Chains A and B, each alone.
Chain A
């Protein structure tokens, strides 16, 4: 029997667009123009807006060049809402510390219009009451600012920490090379420091490509973002055209619990869950070292629920075509011959056949690492 993962990998590796070297927007395209297949569409959509593509988006973009799709996504408020959520999660501003109905809600439209830079957005996050509540006291606050914004290991920078703590409490001092006399100064100096630009480059590259930025690239990109923070979108665009990102698409990447919740609602019901439902489910899944058991239970709940209920066998038309489309839509690939035979057989057996097929696919490891 054919190994489906092997099939998936080999078909990816042989794809000529996979070997396209990293390019900048200024370079002319080399070789075939990278086009969107289901796998790329799903990966880019998940990474940039935190959900799979809707049916209409899939219809519109499949087979089209990748670059305009990336540009279109990065110009949406939805992409920056997702970026902001990722940052809030990074700062652990979740659950009872999640900012709701605050001035941070203003950030996504400003970021989408490029009227604000991500650096400024991070600065605003660190000034928020949620950040203050999450990191109470001078020691915790200054430590987290240094660690999370600048990537500094405070145990090796104790003097800087003490100066920052003194400034937090209202005493003056030279913090990270600039004069600080209060808590606001500490945040501003850290957020605009060159280490912050370098750290942002490092962690955003890792978030998108699931690989590590080389030391040289980290320094180069950090310097670029420090000098020109507005170029963040161009940097993201270059990364998404890189070999590192192509590798991430080929290998798949584990879906975070938040993205999984959003994916399962879109894939089963064609629409996102409410923010409250997303958070309740995300929080529950985050409470497990291995979320797979609870994910399976949630899928069963949804397959029997209003709006996400699985179709009956009489509703799917030609089972073969339905299985082909379902594989492409959910796994980003065609079924192998063995898979097609087995899944078409299952879809055609009993009125609940399609439900069995959907349950099997969305609880598979492959779906959860898409």
Chain B
């Protein structure tokens, strides 16, 4: 059988810490931010159930108290996929609700990786919406694309009970031994016609090792309403501690249960707020992150004003409840306790992130949220 590295090695023993970035400097003169977490609370979340019901979102309220609260972020009802995509591309563009394809435009992840020369392990996306959401990682623009894409993990996809059960039955695959790695690499080089491996192979090996390690942690066991979202947020928290990446996007989805259950929807919002609280607490408790990490939180759009006949909430009435959402910017470079009541757009967040990294979001249609900076 293929000889493998020592069984049962944890992240540290496997050398994952070595993959964490070296101490980083801020990316833009005058700013302290080194890491950004962009949380898209997708699935359709009205302001009425967030900042209109502070009891649902105590952690978001605290975040807003310590940062900047936007009360009128204009959205476009492009379907969940299109509206969330517009946040990461900075361009409002119609996409089919069940479209399972890449956008033609670059995403924030590509701008940042390309302009800053970052490896894939520095830019991640965690999602909860399944196969469709891995399309947020990169677009099809010829100057950007897959080679600058984010490393994407869907919490409910990889860390599902069925997969874990299968792995348990068949035996957890372990990394190749050094000797076998060398034999395989020799053959791969021949298959490549003598060319050396590119950087993506090393990056893939790191990701593979991380996934196998993560399978042994508690993410798989999470269950109940909004478990997929909770997994995505937990993964983001774990990735921050293991890789300390420059940028993590988190795209949630499960609030869409609202179509059939208002109570379930409210529960998802409360659970996501708690998970965001845990994430922020982990940042605050980490010496290497607390003074250098910024967080953005915003839904992709809201929901209808009135309940439907199933006592749920759809999204298609064109009301202000649907078209405007609240959003938060928190971190060392933002004002504290500021409330912006003027109209802004959800697509403005992406160029703001790019601005903080010194990247040029050249195709974005949004504007930098300048009033948020201290």
Contact = CB atoms under 8 A, between A and B. Distances in A.
Given A140-B259, A289-B125, A289-B149, A283 B160 contact: yes
Interface string B154-192: 111111101101110011111010001001101110111
A134 to B, nearest CB: 8
Given A92-B132, A289-B152, A297 B171 contact: no
Interface stretch (A57-65, A102-110, A336-344): A336-344
Interface stretch (A39-47, A178-186, A299-307): A299-307
Contact of A280 (B127, B166, B316): B166
A344 to B, nearest CB: 11
Contacts of A297: 173, 208, 211-212
A264 interface: no
Interface string A90-106: 11101100000000000
B187 A343 contact: yes
Contact of B160 (A135, A280, A342): A280
B2 A352 contact: yes
Contact of B2 (A290, A300, A342): A300
B4 to A, nearest CB: 8
Contact of B312 (A136, A165, A292, A293): A136
B127 to A, nearest CB: 8
A250 interface: no
B1 A137 contact: no
Interface residues of A, number: 69
28 contacts: A4-B192, A89-B131, A90-B100, A95-B156, A138-B314, A144-B96, A147-B97, A154-B94, A276-B162, A286-B131, A287-B155, A287-B158, A289-B151, A290-B149, A290-B204, A292-B204, A293-B208, A294-B158, A296-B204, A297-B208, A301-B170, A346-B186, A356-B184, A356-B187, A360-B187, A360-B188, A360-B191, A364-B191
A289 B137 contact: yes
Contact of A147 (B96, B172, B212): B96
B90 interface: no
Contact of B157 (A90, A286, A296): A286
Interface string A321-351: 0000000000000000011001100100100
A346 B182 CA distance: 12
Contacts of A342: 186-187, 190
A1 interface: yes
Interface string B94-132: 101111100000000000000000000000010100111
B240 interface: no
A9 interface: no
A143 B97 contact: yes
A47 B346 CA distance: 41
B153 interface: yes
Contacts of B154: 286-288
A360 B191 CA distance: 9
Scoring A89, A94, A153, A283 by chain B CB atoms within 10 A of each residue's CB, the highest score goes to A283
A287 B128 CA distance: 9
Given A92-B131, A283-B163, A357-B187, A304 B316 contact: no
Contacts of B150: 289
Contacts of A338: 190
Interface residues of B, number: 68
A3 interface: yes
B331 interface: no
A234 B132 CA distance: 32
A231 interface: no
Contact of A283 (B162, B192, B212): B162
A137 B259 contact: yes
A136 B157 contact: no
A4 B314 contact: no
B268 interface: no
B207 A304 contact: no
B99 to A, nearest CB: 8
Contacts of A94: 130-131
A314 to B, nearest CB: 15
Contacts of A352: 1-3
A214 interface: no
Given A3-B193, A136-B312, A360 B160 contact: no
A312 B313 CA distance: 60
A356 to B, nearest CB: 5
Given A276-B162, A298-B173, A346-B186, 9 more contacts: A6-B193, A92-B130, A135-B98, A136-B314, A138-B316, A154-B94, A280-B160, A288-B158, A289-B134
A139 B314 contact: yes
Contact of B98 (A3, A144, A294, A366): A144
Contact of B208 (A2, A276, A294, A343): A294
B299 interface: no
Contacts of A54: none
A160 interface: no
Nearest to A293: B208
Contacts of A366: 191
Contacts of A5: 193
Contacts of A281: 163, 166
